[in-house]
Chains A and B, each alone.
Chain A
Amino acid sequence: MPDLTRRVGVPRLAGISYPLSRPLGRPHDPDGQRAVLRATLEVLEQATRPDHYVELPFVWPETAAQARNASKDEPPSPIAALLLKEPWLIPKLYSGHIPA
């Protein structure tokens, strides 16, 4: 999620359009993983100023629906389950007023 990572303020960022849970690529695809890591390391050498942002050209080999479907059996996170049950708490998340 380069959008979110960029807002955190990292010095250099390589964005990639890969699904959550597997940012380097598919399991047991060493060539693909190595290409992603190498392209990411090259950003380190190219950058000369903060907020340097590069979008890597790699394309995920499945549709978004297929990628999501691979994790359909994962239960919702505790916060997602809570907010589904008590949606009036959502503004706390938006506002950053996290209950202590």
Chain B
Amino acid sequence: MSEDRTRLSPAARLTKWLVSGPPLAFLLLFFVAPSLIMVLASFRYPGEFGGLAPLIAADPGILHGFTLETYRFFFSDLIYTEIFAKSFLVALATTLICLVMAYPLALLIARSPKKSRDFMVLLVTLPFASNFLIRIYAWMILLGPQAALSLLVNGLLGVFGMAPVNLLFSPFAVLVAMVYVHLPFMVLPLYTNLEKHDPALLDAARDLGANAWQRFWRVTFPLSLPGIFSGSILVFIPVLGMFAIPDILGGTGDMLIGNLIKEQFLGTRDWPFGSTLSIMLTITVLACVWLAARLGGRRRRYA
């Protein structure tokens, strides 16, 4: 748009504020304000019975005011940094597995005749339409101790003389479900990118003597990097904050940062610490996005 913002007529400016005003106001009130409250809450004392301690209290015996206590508590023990690292690794693993699984599918859809492409994309999107809890629950059934997969795996292990394993309530179950829930988020951006590739490039490569693998690795893959980055971000960030999957499918050690935050708010009732954890999660997410943008931007110059 070439229209210069400073040269809007009064009528146009009025329109601008009429149109953008209501959503702006709503989001200021219900998104920006809560976020600021959360930042502030991380600097307060926990309430005696849960919640937050008051900011001002007449009785000096009651804890009140601001403090760095929660941040000190966060850094006082390595365990919390450990959980962040663990969540980071789980998110990374999920992203990589999603990438490996999504790429062939996206490639196939992109190379299919135009008429069937939309339908195939719809087929990918439809499971996404089902409730996310249902998708998790489905894996509870599939990985259950009496289900076919468990019996198969344990049967095989039995052949080799090894003890039976529990597929459910394990890190394996968590990972599988994470991949399952987020796979469409990787397929769609990849497909959007791959669809735009010019087949003439591949033909040129073949003419120059490249075999199938080289054509993929030296032509298709580099061109698809922007799509890979979009998809990765769309998978990585939600997984980082996920709590429902470890909560339902996880075993004893499968506690991610999302579970810890939930526990602070709905269990221990330690709202300041929960807010601190949330702030640290936000910072981590922003750092990852910034990093990805830098890497993605640099690569794009060579495309």
Q: Is A bound to B?
A: no
